[in-house]
Amino acid sequence: MNKFFSWIENKMLPPMAKLAEQKHLRAVRDGIISTMPLIMIGSFFVLLVNFPIPAWTNLIQPYVPSIMLPYRITVGLMALYASYGMGYSLAKSYDLDGISGGSLSLGTFLMTMTPVIGKAVEGDAELGWVLPMNFLGGGGMFTAILTMILAVEILRFCKEKNVTIRLPEQVPDSVARSFEAIIPGMISLTLIWFVSHILKFNINEAIMKIFNPVVDIAGNTYLGVLIPVLLICLLWAAGVHGVSVIGSIVRPLWLVLLEQNITEVANGGVAQNIGTEGFFDLFVWIGGSGGTLALCILFMMSKSAYMKQIGRLSLIPGIFNINEPIMFGAPIVLNPILAIPFVISPVVTTTITYIAMKFDFVAKVSVVTPFAIPAPIKAYLSTNGDWRAIILVLINFAVYFAIYYPFVKAYDKKMYAEELSQEAI
């Protein structure tokens, strides 16, 4: 086991840690995370409309279009918000003006859209030029990422090569920065305009065709949900925040899958994608990565005074899905006795949860809820009020308890013997 940890630390860890700090991935992560409050707000209104109480749904039926408006302005435009956030983050990482980076990213992304003459839903009144929302939500997320990279990299290139409009020092900084962005903005917007509107090449559709197989694998296959779990647990066991590393890579996929689920439910359908981020947060990471809430309770039942104390200190954070106290206090990191169940048990719960959702025993996730809500409540709300989600959480918790139990007993025996030997000195 020590050789295995050594291999992770020396071979797997360096490239993964380097990948986590890669500027573009970090910008994507930060930009997408910045949209989470809006997505939570929007998905709450979807839950409000679809809450499984017939009397309630009948009561609000006449007002559904109005109630759903916050959803359309938040989740329906998530790629728009992410585009600005990602561009801002990447520009700041290059010591460029963040507002210019965000604005150019947003403008370049919007240039991939084709405005149309719209008509009012009721009547034939023309609305003027409007932008279709097809690719302003999750469907345009990959385009937003690529156009963000293009816009900010052109901004950086022009800045480094002094291909900018420079104003006298007496001009306020905000005005000078806006002029510095004119030439790189002209380049990036003109390039996308030429491809999209002169060559008539639909960038959004082309990118979605490329990424659709990847999205399908990540969202609806067993390996698509198992591989992230294994990588996250292995990295955590070696002392690296696994979700930060792996999440930076796969979170755009999770977000696209989630947006598809939310939209399906908002339109009166049923969520279809399994592998959203909620799949892991709600049913696999009960108490945090590795399902460590069960470990906290088992520690409290130990003979070892140290383990009891760690269990008590870790229980309340664990209930709210914060597990750093148990991760580094037990410790699980670089501790073979606890690292083995830490890796094995999430594989089992991932399998159980995948089967349950694959065969529609439990609804897929279609609502985003705050991270710190305890698992059973969060699972109920996030599956649009499916009571079976609570049962699945409890089953997975029992699985964690059973798998961790023999390893904790062995660790407790070792720690208790060490404490007795220290008292005898």
Residue in 297, 298, 279 with CA at minimum distance from that of residue 351: 279
Tokens of residue 8, six digits: 């992770």
Question: Do 90 and 180 lie in a common domain?
Answer: yes
Position 289 in a domain: yes
User: CA-CA distance, 331 to 5, in Å (whole number)?
Assistant: 14
Q: 131 with 76: CB under 8 angstroms?
A: no
Cβ atoms within 10 Å of 187's Cβ, excluding its own: 19
Question: Do 181 and 282 lie in a common domain?
Answer: no
Give the orientation angle of helix 13-20 with respect to helix 23-33, to 10 degrees. 60
pLDDT digits (tens, 9 = 90+) for 20-45: 667 888 888 888 888 888 888 887 88
User: CA-CA distance, 26 to 418, in Å (whole number)?
Assistant: 43
Question: Do 203 and 244 lie in a common domain?
Answer: no
| Mean per-residue pLDDT over the chain, rounded | 84
DSSP line for 230-294:
HHHHHHHHTTS-HHHHHHHHHHHHHHHHHHHHHHHHHTT-------SHHIIIIII-TTSTT-THH
What is the model's pLDDT at position 116? 77
Chain centre to alpha carbon of residue 89: 17
Q: Which of 163, 193, 213 is the last residue of a domain?
A: 213
What is the model's pLDDT at position 125? 66
pLDDT band at 248 (very low <50, low <70, confident <90, very high): confident
Integer angstrom CA distances of residue 414 from 305, 402, 417: 12, 20, 5
Question: Do 268 and 398 lie in a common domain?
Answer: yes
Place of tokens 């990447």: 90
DSSP state of 61: G
Question: Do 158 and 276 lie in a common domain?
Answer: no
What is the model's pLDDT at position 422? 76
pTM of this prediction?
A: 0.76
Whether the pLDDT of residue 2 is over 70: the answer is: no
Q: Which of 213, 238, 271 is the last residue of a domain?
A: 213
User: CA-CA distance, 38 to 70, in Å (whole number)?
Assistant: 9
Position 6 in a domain: no
Give the containing element (helix H, strand E) for 321. none
Question: Do 29 and 162 lie in a common domain?
Answer: yes
Position 17 in a domain: no
Position 3 in a domain: no
pLDDT band at 332 (very low <50, low <70, confident <90, very high): confident
pLDDT digits (tens, 9 = 90+) for 355-406: 999 999 999 998 887 766 788 888 898 888 889 999 999 999 999 999 999 9
pLDDT band at 63 (very low <50, low <70, confident <90, very high): confident
Q: Which domain holds residue 155?
A: 23-213
Question: Do 279 and 156 lie in a common domain?
Answer: no
pLDDT band at 55 (very low <50, low <70, confident <90, very high): confident
Angle at 21 between CA 17 and CA 24, to 5 degrees: 135
Q: 313 with 297: CB under 8 angstroms?
A: no
Question: Do 182 and 92 lie in a common domain?
Answer: yes
The size of the chain, in residues, is: 425
Q: Which of 213, 248, 280 is the last residue of a domain?
A: 213
Count up the domains in the chain and report the number: 2
What is the model's pLDDT at position 313? 87
State mean pLDDT over 314-319.
86
Question: Do 100 and 137 lie in a common domain?
Answer: yes
pLDDT digits (tens, 9 = 90+) for 123-140: 566 667 778 888 888 778
Position 13 in a domain: no
Question: Do 168 and 267 lie in a common domain?
Answer: no
pLDDT digits (tens, 9 = 90+) for 191-218: 999 999 899 898 988 888 888 787 778 7
Position 152 in a domain: yes
